[in-house]
Amino acid sequence: MPTESPSPVPAGSSAPAGSSAPAGFPAPAGSTIAERLAVVRARIADAARTAGRDPGEVRLLVATKTQPAEAVLEALAGGVDLIGENRVQELVAKAPAVADRVAEGALEVHMIGHLQRNKINQVLATATGLETLDSPDLARAISDRCVRDDRTLDVLVQVNVSGEASKSGVAPSDAAGLADAVAALPGLRLRGFMTIGARLEDSGEQGVRAGFARLRAIRDEVLGSGAPGTEAATELSMGMTNDLELAIAEGATIIRVGTAIFGPRPTPR
């Protein structure tokens, strides 16, 4: 994650209205990854301008779940500098293919899936950031390993703004408390918050935007508290292929996109 982030939407203010999220927005048939990247970047830029924001405030995280290393490298050739993996085994398997870029500081690799404590060492060996920190116990365990290894890990607290049982994350009412606890731990750098929005099909645009707005309010509360270690917690990782416009309208600084770049995920064998 960058050492500096764009200014957050001020606490207490309402985010500017954004464009409606397209329904589905499938990747164009027969297009290359480079062409799909261009389409997604244009969507991000258009959404930012519509919301009265600088497009440079929004980073694209390319979600590489189930994608082969060759496809990931093709995305990197298109200028991608931030990727995310959902599964630890895939993170580890693809690490050699991107190791040089990570070592050069040209690529960040985030873990964006649920992390079990018994896989912390594998993540620390291959990832530059974690977006799914959701409990004090996990935070303490990661902190201990980071201190042992004399390193600092950028982390985001995952919040379940939709309240859906199928989604991970701390409850919104507990998010600020967890963030303060994480910020006080050695070896961890609190950079912000992450969420998986409600399904558009179930909640509609208003419901999805309300969830994103709630995450922004949590971020603003934590930043405004002045608690030690919270000053860098400016990031809002929210919004994916189908709802990125809504997320950007509510202040997203990181958008996670996979399907619109790579197409439908390969069927597991």
Residues 112-159: tens digit of each pLDDT: 999 999 999 999 999 999 999 999 999 999 999 999 999 999 999 999
Rounded CA separation 112/238 (Å): 11
Residue 200's pLDDT band, with cuts at 50, 70 and 90, is confident
Strands 235-237 and 188-194: parallel
pLDDT in tens, 21-77: 454 455 443 489 999 999 999 999 999 999 999 999 999 999 999 999 999 999 999
Predicted confidence (pLDDT) at residue 10 exceeds the cutoff of 50 = no
Separation CA 19–CA 21 (nearest Å): 6
Indicate whether 43 belongs to any domain: no
Q: What is the pLDDT averaged over residues 171-195? A: 98
One-character DSSP codes across the chain: --SS-PPPPPTTPPPPP-PPPPS--PPPTT--HHHHHHHHHHHHHHHHHHTT--GGG-EEEEE-TT--HHHHHHHHHTT--EEEES-HHHHHHHHHHHHHHHHHTS-EEEE-S---GGGHHHHHHH-SEEEEE--HHHHHHHHHHHHHHT--EEEEEEB-TT--TTS-SB-HHHHHHHHHHHHTSTTEEEEEEE--PPPHHHHHHHHHHHHHHHHHHHHHHHHHHT-TT-TT--EEE---TTTHHHHHHTT-SEEEESHHHH-SPPPP-
How many CB atoms sit inside 10 A of residue 200's CB? 17
> Is residue 221 pLDDT above 60, yes or no?
yes
241: pLDDT strictly greater than 80: yes
- Rounded average pLDDT over 223-228: 96
Q: How many CA atoms lie less than 13 Å away from 141 in the CB half-sphere? A: 15
At residue 5, the pLDDT reads: 39
Q: Across residues 70-97, what is the average pLDDT? A: 97
Q: What is the CATH number of the domain that holds 122?
A: 3.20.20.10
The answer to whether position 267 is within a domain reads no
43/15: higher pLDDT: 43
Confidence of residue 201 (pLDDT cuts 50, 70, 90): confident
Is 41 inside any structural domain?
Answer: no
Task: With respect to residue 146, please indicate whether it lies within any of the assigned structural domains.
Answer: yes
Give the CA diameter of the chain: 50
pLDDT value, residue 1: 57
| In the predicted structure, residue 7 carries a pLDDT above the cut 70 | no
| Domain assignment of residue 65, yes or no | yes
Residue 229 has pLDDT above 50, yes or no: yes
188 found inside a domain = yes
**What rounded mean pLDDT belongs to the chain?**
89
Distance CA 171, CA 158 (A): 9
Please state the domain count of the chain: 1
CA 27/CA 22 separation, integer angstroms: 12
Flag whether 84 is in a domain.
yes
User: What's the rounded Cα separation, in Å, for the pair 258 and 65?
Assistant: 8
Domain that holds residue 257: 52-261
pTM score, two decimals? 0.88
More confident residue, 3 or 268: 268
In the predicted structure, residue 15 carries a pLDDT above the cut 50 = no
Phi, psi of 192 (to 5 degrees): 150, -145
209 Rama sector, left if φ>0, alpha if ψ -120 to 50, beta otherwise: alpha
pLDDT value, residue 16 = 43
